[in-house]
Amino acid sequence: MTKNAISLIIAYLYCLAPAPAQEIAVLKYKGGGDWYANPTALPNLIRFCNENAGTTIDEKPETVEVGSSSIFQYPFLHMTGHGNVVFSDEEAENLRTYLYSGGFLHIDDNYGMAPYLKKALTKAFPDKELVELDREHPIFNQLFKFPDGLPKIHEHDGKRPQALGIFHENRLILLFTTESDLGDGWEDPSVHNDPEEVRKKALQMGANIIAYAFKN
């Protein structure tokens, strides 16, 4: 059986399966980048969503590998890191099938990830490009309002924060947030000593991303 046939079967079964629960997983990738960065970030964001957005997400997210069929169990995947990202051909195809079948991936650049990630995404989506979301996009107007778009949480190079997306059939399937460092803002207060107002903005933007993904 060809790889394309296997991918189509997985996508078909994914569509037939009952609607997945509201669960989130961390995406583990190869290349040497620290996919495990910000260990307290996602649990804190999940707790914030459960308390403020009516979700019932498990506060201990699982870890899944890019090439595993396990990713199809989760409607939302989160990915982060500072360094290199490498997808094999099989991993790129698996991720593409997952996203085209209804999944959602949020990638948060923890600083220095962007050039490596963009190269990896070219393999997964050779016919698509990252496009910047304007401030009127619904993701900035979910539970919390961000009239100026993606907030700036940590300063590195003096560059403006960007929310970049990949779309398929008019659906946002992948969101890449860079020059913002949302994940740092989600971490325990003692990690970065951010002011509470900064952490609040990061958590609210994260809740918007999750709310948007679960609705769409």
Pick from 7, 205, 169, 190: nearest CA to 96: 7
How many CA atoms are closer than 13 Å to the CA of 156, on its beta-carbon side? 17
> Predicted confidence band at 216 (pLDDT cuts at 50, 70, 90)?
confident
| Digit-coded pLDDT (tens) for 159-215 | 899 999 999 999 999 999 999 999 999 999 888 888 999 999 999 999 999 999 999
- Give residue-wise pLDDT tens across range 113-133: 999 999 999 999 999 999 999
Q: What does the pLDDT look like over 42-101, one tens digit per residue?
A: 999 999 999 999 999 999 999 999 999 999 999 999 999 998 999 999 999 999 999 999
**Cβ-based neighbours of 185, under 8 Å, separated by 6 or more:** 153, 154, 192, 194, 198, 199, 201, 202, 203
Give per-residue pLDDT as tens, 11-45.
Answer: 444 444 444 467 999 999 999 889 999 999 999 99
Dihedral, CA atoms, 196, 202, 206, 207, nearest 10 degrees?
A: 40
Q: Which amino acid is at 59?
A: E
